[in-house]
Amino acid sequence: MSKPSSFFGQDTLSPNEAGHSLGSIGTFALWFGANIVVTTILTGMLLVPDLRFTTAITTVLIGSLIGAIPLLLVGLMGQRTGLPSMALTRRAYGPLGSQLISLVNMGVLIAWSCIQALLAGMSLNYAIEATTGYSNLPLFVILCETVVVLIVLRGHLGIELVERWAALAMAGLTVVVLYQLNQHYDVSTLFEMPVESRNGITLGIAFDIVIATAFSWMSSAADYNRNCKTSKIAVWGTYFGYIMAAIVAMGLGATISGLSILNGMEQTYDPTRLLADFGFGLPAALVIFFSVMTTNVMAVYSATLSCMNIAPNMSFWKPALIIGLVTIFGALIPGILDQFQNFLLIVGALFIPAFSVMIVDYYLVGQESYTAKLLDSTKQLGRPTAKIAISAYLIGAALAAYWTLIAPPSFGASLPVFIITGGLYWLGATLFTRPNRAVTSAQKEPSL
């Protein structure tokens, strides 16, 4: 069945033969816009008053500097090979393992999109109610997600165009909000604000959440950076775009949370209402609405590519449309925002070990098979590292779950899990497969 109209994008898993579309500004804007979002603002809100304001900002800076490194490494893999993230998992995990990871990735991205859609609907509902008195949250959630789906259906070129303008609007509106806060409130009082345990956040957990926020983008990095014009652009555009956005967004969240407490206001998961109490309800609503334009489209787009990795013969527009409809219903599930912090930690437990294996496989074990031939499942059978990769992943995921849910270490779980999982895979691949591959290659050499 052919695509129903020229409106729909024709994106595939194959490398883009028409050329790369993302330059340095486009790449920076993509990752800057991706991270100046309401969920990143909420992450910053979780840190204060459990930590001192200066400690929270320092944790955000250090955690983002470290967490963005694996993100850019996966994105660089996409730029070099032209393949999306889930297709790249085929080499380390084999066809079946790749499909299982794609299925989990699709589920996580759909959940992420549901949270984004609900928050966008809340902000739009607030703006309409404040100006007209009309309130209908389910309707505005549907409207916001419909806009997201329409953008995604245009494919990566449509997303890149929207991301540039949305990122610019987000940056401008954020500057306005921060300026107005500084004009109307004594921001310096944040530095003297006493520590108070409200969200159960320790320094280790805070560091873990900040890193997990960066790591959560690993599963999508190659989906977009495969369109970067050069490797240098893929590295530096991603790194600086992400880090600057993290500092601005989480810093804004920490500022809002601290000032709300100092001024006797009620904390809420809806930063629009907090800012409304400060007198900035409409700018906040616009910030959050644009945030869903920049992030939610990326989540739905990457979930679509994950679905295509499971069912390669499926046309791009079909899973994009179906996933968009699913997220609309998911966003209306009662109490979904109450699990936001746990969701961040679960993301880390599921994907930090998965992409640790993939990064080690590409950069340390060997790059020879990372080509478009990965898309042909008949050429992937019998890879000896697949069992090692899956075993290392399961150990890493179990360790992450234990440290996250049962016995959280003071130093956080994300970075240790990433290092341990990658180390286990590298050790297994070095000890058990490299000699075998050498023997196999020698046996395949034609006799003279």
Q: pLDDT category, 62, cuts 50, 70, 90?
A: very high
C-alpha 422/C-alpha 436 separation (Å) is 21
pLDDT at 84: 92
Is 289 a residue whose pLDDT tops 80?
no
Residues 30-58 have pLDDT tens digits of 898 888 777 788 888 889 889 999 999 99
Token pair for residue 180? Answer: 């107005």
CATH of the domain at 336: 1.10.4160.10
20: left (phi over 0), alpha (psi -120 to 50) or beta: beta
- Asked whether residue 155 is assigned to any structural domain, the reply reads yes
Short-list 355, 327, 28, CA closest to 149: 327
146-150, 181-185, 344-348: which has the minimum mean pLDDT? 344-348
C-alpha 124/C-alpha 141 separation (Å) is 8
- Asked whether residue 170 is assigned to any structural domain, the reply reads yes
Residues 133-162 have pLDDT tens digits of 889 888 888 888 888 888 888 877 777 777
C-alpha 273/C-alpha 281 separation (Å) is 7
Is 442 a residue whose pLDDT tops 60?
no
Comparing 236 with 365, the larger pLDDT belongs to: 236
Check residue 446 and report its DSSP letter.
P
Q: What is the mean pLDDT of the chain?
A: 80
Residue type, 194: P
Q: pLDDT category, 76, cuts 50, 70, 90?
A: very high
- Asked whether residue 432 is assigned to any structural domain, the reply reads no
> Dmax of the chain from CA atoms?
86
Residues 110-119 have pLDDT tens digits of 887 888 788 7
pLDDT at 367: 77
- Which domain, by its residues, includes 334? 24-341
Cβ proximity of 233 and 27 under 8 Å: yes
Residues in the chain: 448
133: left (phi over 0), alpha (psi -120 to 50) or beta: left
- Asked whether residue 393 is assigned to any structural domain, the reply reads no
pLDDT at 2: 45
Q: pLDDT category, 234, cuts 50, 70, 90?
A: very high
- Asked whether residue 204 is assigned to any structural domain, the reply reads yes
Comparing 447 with 27, the larger pLDDT belongs to: 27
pLDDT at 228: 92
Instruction: Calculate mean pLDDT across residues 97-122.
Output: 84
Number of domains present in the structure of the chain: 1
Instruction: Calculate mean pLDDT across residues 212-240.
Output: 90
Is 302 a residue whose pLDDT tops 70?
yes
Is 342 a residue whose pLDDT tops 50?
yes
Q: pLDDT category, 424, cuts 50, 70, 90?
A: very high
Instruction: Calculate mean pLDDT across residues 405-428.
Output: 85
Instruction: Calculate mean pLDDT across residues 124-129.
Output: 79
Cβ proximity of 208 and 51 under 8 Å: no
Comparing 406 with 234, the larger pLDDT belongs to: 234
- Asked whether residue 217 is assigned to any structural domain, the reply reads yes
- Asked whether residue 48 is assigned to any structural domain, the reply reads yes
DSSP string across 194-236: PP--SS---HHHHHHHHHHHHHTTHHHHHHHHTTBSSHHHHHH
- Asked whether residue 402 is assigned to any structural domain, the reply reads no
Q: pLDDT category, 195, cuts 50, 70, 90?
A: confident
